[in-house]
Chain A
Amino acid sequence: MVSEVSAPPKSASLVGALVGNNQIVLVAALVVICVGISLAVPQFYSSANIIAILRQVAMVLIVACGMTMLLITAEVDLSVGASLAFVGVVAMDVINVTDSVFLGALAGIAFGALVGLVNGLIVTRLKVNSLIATIGTMMILQGGVFLYSREAIQNHHHLPSFVDIGAGYVGPVPIPVIVAAVIFIASYVVLRHTTLGRYLFAVGANEKTARLSGLRTTWLKLFAFVLTGALVGVAGLILGSLMNAGQPTAGRGFELTVIAAVILGGTSLSGGRGTLIGTLLGVFVLKVIDDGIIVLQWNQDLQMIVPGVVLIAAIYLDILRRRADAR
């Protein structure tokens, strides 16, 4: 059917040019927000605040890199928030017992990856829709973390290197920001320049095509789940270090922030489409808004409303743009 009326190459219509691509909208939004806030509150540009924002961005971005890949393969993981808390608890417990930050970090990341693996197996083997499957594992983890430990696991080891994971600096740059930057760049390169990245797109764009082309589709989806899980492990360590405790109550709503940022960045829920640059911008937009509402001393309830509106508005604009392209 399509072939008979196949559309010609995109024509750059006026509307299309005006709305531009999604990322330009995000950049513009970011600039407007930053300028607006800084006019009202000059301290917005203080190095302390910028570092504060960067650190918040880092936490979300680390997981968002994995989530972007996962959404590109047309799957989603809602359990990342619950897993984040569990990772912190496990890591702190292991460090307390072994007195080794390395082993604790390894345990935390391995735990996160294991959660990802379980999610991936439920989705690929049992064929459960990932939205439902990860709501299920979210419940299991939320309950499980309290069965594991009702109280926050305290720092009994007092190892300075543990504190550095979240609060340390290299030169003027906080360590979490460096970690996030490394993960972001690596993810970007993988997604953009490697066969693995291309295969992830292929699986999300058309799983059967990918399989007929000889790709290990199950393995690729598992990879995206495990990677996302492992990155939750990294973020969980940073959060644990920042809070200096393994908090079972942490991470509520974290999954929604991450997914909102990724979608805001133009990654499609239906797979096969998305960019990490978009994700980066999406994280920045959400976190700058979050920070702005605090420094402006506005009612913090707006921290719920504004992202909701921004998300719907951004997607609305994206749809307008696509329609303009198709016209």
Chain B
Amino acid sequence: MPQSSSIAARSGSQVTDTFATLGRRQEIALVLSIFALIAFFSFTSDYFFTVRNLTNVLGQGSLVMIAGIGVAIVFMSGEVDISVGSLQAAVAIPLIEVMNATGNLWLGLAAALLLGLIVGVINGYLSAYVGINSLIVTLGMLFILRGGVYLYTGKTAIPDDAYLESFFVIGNERFLGVVPYPALIALILLLGFMYVMSHRPFGRKVYAVGGNAEVARLAGFPVKRVKFTCFIISSVMATISGILLASRLGSAVHLAGIGFEFQVVAAVVLGGVSLSGGVGSLLGMALGVLILAFMSNGLGMLDLPTEWQLVITGIIIIIAVAFDEMKRRRAG
């Protein structure tokens, strides 16, 4: 009884069963905020409301969005992953090294994915199976990977000497000259995982495990394996974003991704994905990413000290979560 009453208290209007997602208040509020931001910045700068700029923002937000998919899924399962920034830097090393050695993009991608998988397996094993608090595991991984990158590279960037056109294209060119490829990839992944989260048993299991692990276990769900899989998804998504970043940077940069985890967590939380698991949607996360990306772009055009961006982002996060919490309490 205590269990059920406490769960009932954590309510909210997220009935996540179909693509009817669009009809929900959370997302509507986010969409309205985006429109408001666009309207505001169009007013403050002539350069804001242009196809070129808006598509730019999509491309810039896409790295956060791709990693955000994985981090949001981990959040939904009731865990956290903050190792994604360091992983972004780490996967670029095998990618570039293998491409430089073999001149083959596919081998490079495979090497990067392999490292991502290994990290996901370690994070997932220690968190889901051993039972160490995932905040600590992934914080430790954050340090270990970053330190490892510094040690391996001797704190220099490893340039891309293979000059593969295809590698340049994925991060820097535009599909049909309009949509940046990273945005396209992000969109495909987003739609794919939205489908998984609402139309595949696995997605439902993630929500169930995050909503109430004990119930999920009694329902016969392999709770540990579901969480384990979420960590692997997260690492793979971070790897993909790391590959795109490496393409944009044309190298494996040891400094890449520092603080990236904060951007991702900010977007995920802003999108209404709760730290306590079981609620939230990927669409919300994606809208959260767009809000932060438009903010960053728009504020960058104002003649404001850049520190305002940090301050404003911090305030927005607190207000968004406080608002979310208030709504949830009222509904419960």
Contact = CB atoms under 8 A, between A and B. Distances in A.
Q: Are A and B direct contacts in the complex by CB distance below 8 Å?
A: yes
Interface of A: 122, 126-129, 131-133, 135-140, 142-144, 146-147, 256, 260, 263, 269-270, 299, 301-305, 307-309, 311-312, 315-316, 319
B137 interface: yes
Interface string B148-163: 1011000100000000
Contact of A133 (B135, B146, B318, B326): B318
A270 B275 CA distance: 14
A139 B151 CA distance: 29
For the complex, would chain B's binding face be called helix, strand, loop or mixed by DSSP majority?
A: helix
A132 B311 contact: no
A140 B310 contact: yes
Given A302-B147, A309-B140, A312-B140, A126 B311 contact: no
B297 to A, nearest CB: 17
18 contacts: A128-B325, A129-B321, A132-B321, A133-B318, A133-B321, A135-B266, A139-B262, A139-B311, A140-B314, A143-B314, A146-B307, A147-B308, A256-B143, A302-B147, A304-B150, A305-B147, A309-B144, A312-B137
Contact of B314 (A137, A260, A263, A270): A137
A128 B151 contact: no
B135 A319 contact: no
A269 B310 contact: no
B133 A301 contact: no
Nearest to A303: B147
A127 B147 contact: no
A188 B100 CA distance: 57
A129 B275 contact: yes
A308 B141 contact: yes
A132 B269 contact: yes
Given A128-B321, A131-B275, A319-B131, A307 B311 contact: no
Nearest to A145: B307
Contact of A304 (B147, B308, B310): B147
**Residue among B131, B135, B311, B315 with max Cβ neighbours from chain A (10 Å):** B311
Interface of B: 126, 130-133, 135-137, 139-144, 146-148, 150-151, 155, 262, 265-266, 269, 275-276, 305, 307-311, 313-315, 317-318, 321-322, 325-326, 329
Given A146-B305, A305-B147, A305-B151, A315 B136 contact: yes
Interface centre among A146, A269, A301 (most CB of B within 10 A): A301
Given A132-B275, A304-B147, A143 B318 contact: no
Nearest to B304: A147
Nearest to B214: A1
